[in-house]
Chains A and B, each alone.
Chain A
């Protein structure tokens, strides 16, 4: 049913911190899985970093997943921050006005 994945992830646990490193292109076909992945990280760690350094494409559905995860971390009193957005990814986050909310981290 779903096409072959265009992105990958790696989760590193360090105490109660979780770093989710993503790579590739993420669009509507990956957004739901991404949301699940990030939600698991938020449930498991008190500090979650999402490293976008190797991500080359995101769209509005990915932003939705990031904002949902960030909101649920905030409700749970956990830290959640996006780091290293580059090129197209940085630009899209900036244009949509969510760059600060996602990169500043929440407690």
Chain B
């Protein structure tokens, strides 16, 4: 718009999302989905550690769906303006451990969703009768501080994904 600096805040709501990946998965295809995701994340221009972190965060959501969400689900990766979002939905009853604090070093489990949150700073989990939707996002434009997406736990937003398939 303006020729100056901040196109960051422009069009976050306005522009329609570009779907990059829409992939059903089961436990057997977790690795494959991660590879597809990594290719998209690299192609969209999120390199190195930031890319690795985002891929692992999504992978943890996928793994969580396999373990606690009925063994299968769907991963949708899309780009909304300069924000890369991946939403993982399942048809399970629960979300497993949603820890706020880091587990102690000698505690074996419970790091999945914690890690997804830690790596992206944004984790939104929405539960309903149809299952659970969990999403993480990352901004592709380097930012100094403000204009982050919600890093607070969800209360009522985000029902844009209806899941009613068997």
Question: What is the interface of chain A, defined by CB distance below 8 A to chain B?
Answer: 1-3, 6, 25, 27-29, 57, 59-61, 63-64, 67-68, 70-71, 88, 91-92, 95-98, 100-101
* B31 contacts A by Cβ under 8 Å: yes
What is the interface of chain B mostly: helix, strand, loop, or mixed? helix
CB pair A92–B56 under 8 Å, yes or no, is: yes
Contacts of A28 in B (CB 8 A): 27, 30, 63, 66-67
B 76-113 contacts with A by CB, 8 A = 102-109, 111-112
How far apart are the CA atoms of A59 and B49 in the complex, in Å? 15
CB pair A29–B31 under 8 Å, yes or no, is: yes
What is the interface of chain A mostly: helix, strand, loop, or mixed? helix
CB pair A61–B105 under 8 Å, yes or no, is: no
How close is A95's CB to chain B, nearest CB, in angstroms? 6
Closest 6 CB pairs of A and B: A101-B105, A60-B111, A60-B112, A67-B108, A64-B108, A68-B108
| Residue in A6, A70, A71 whose beta carbon sits within 8 Å of that of B31 in the complex | A6
